[in-house]
Amino acid sequence: MNEIVLDDDSVRQDLFPFTLTRSVADIRIGILTIREKWEKLFNYTITNKLVKSSSPVLPANIIPNNNLVNAIREKKSDQYLISASDSKIIKYPWHIFQLNGEIIKTDFILITKGRKSEPVSSTNTLINRENIFIEKGAKVEYAFLNASGGPIYIGQNTEVMEGAMIRGPFALCEGSVVKMGSKIYGSTIGPYSIVGGEIKNSIIFGYSNKAHDGYLGDSVIGEWCNLGAGSSNSNIKNSGGEVSVWNQYSKEYVPAGLKCGLLMGDYSRSSINTPFNTGTVVGVCCNVFGEGLTPKYIPDFSWGYTPFSKYRFENAIRDITNWKKLKNQSIDDMELRTLKHIFEQS
């Protein structure tokens, strides 16, 4: 057996808006995406399409664990199905931040086992040094790194600027920057992102910016997003009661626990000082601005929210192209086709 199939079909609908633009397997949770975890464990490519009838087929939203991996390696189909039922899964978007701290810990072991961290500059203040791993090319000076509550992983060619305060579990992926004086804990910053201010128990998938002061908590931010300076989200109701979140597939509000902040799809942006309501869902390619707290749901390709207008497709693509240039990237044909389809369905 040299293939594992991760099936999207039965699990992608409830993970809106993040599965409009990616496979479930390409959701980042912990340090790696789900697909990257499987590929690192088995050392071969993981597909979403069945090639051999004998290949194990598993839901793409499952997080691999040791029991499941061992059962697959031993080709015990009855056991891997049992192990799969006991594994962590991300059924809804808020499960991504709810499980993230735990998954950072398992990914940290997977990535660093048998390896040695790069030296850490003596200018930094470190707590629980053995739980801190620095990759080649990372710049970390005059920062506070506290790994007593979980590991801290600093990826290749990243930078943690002076005065940043980081408490694990925490992951900073390749090419990303933590700005001066930031306060971050229990979070993952995906590749080529820039972050600042206060970030708690949140995941940024990659290529996004939350570069200024403001609070981001119990949230998930997609790729190619930008939160304007001062933008903040509420993550708990004033009543302390359960937060409900809009499910676009079932067209109803679903209970999400006592804390849930902002769930923002790819290519969306907010103006300065945007106040995001508790449990807000922002679709793909939205330009978020308006008066007062945001609505709980902002549909794909929205232009503002008081009132809603629709983002013109050609303008949206122009703006995405401009943002990509800032990170030396360009939009490709697959992205254009995907976005055109989403636009036509919105």
Check pLDDT > 90 for residue 81: no
Q: What is the mean predicted confidence (pLDDT) over 12-41? A: 96
Q: Output the pLDDT for position 75.
A: 73
What does residue 40 show for φ and ψ, rounded to 5 degrees? -70, -35
Domain spans of the chain, in order of start = 5-90, 111-300
Q: What is the mean predicted confidence (pLDDT) over 62-83? A: 77
CA distances from 133 to 30, 112, 124, 200, 280 (A): 15, 8, 14, 20, 34
Lowest-pLDDT range of 45-54, 141-150, 156-165, 225-234:
45-54
Task: Report the DSSP pairing between strands 165-172 and 152-154.
Answer: parallel
Residue that the structure tokens 């735990």 belong to: 102
Q: What percent of the chain shows pLDDT beyond 70?
A: 95
Q: What is the mean predicted confidence (pLDDT) over 9-34? A: 96
pLDDT digits (tens, 9 = 90+) for 228-262: 999 999 999 999 999 999 999 999 999 999 999 99
Average pLDDT of every residue of the chain:
94
Lowest-pLDDT range of 26-40, 52-66, 144-158, 207-221:
52-66
pTM (predicted TM-score): 0.95
Q: Output the pLDDT for position 66.
A: 83
Check pLDDT > 90 for residue 82: no
Check pLDDT > 80 for residue 54: no
Q: Supply the Cα-derived Rg of the chain in whole angstroms.
A: 20
Q: Which CATH architecture is the domain 111-300 placed in?
A: 3 Solenoid (2.160)
Q: Output the pLDDT for position 3.
A: 75
> CA-to-CA distance for 282 and 253, rounded, in angstroms?
14
Tokens standing for residue 254: 């679903």
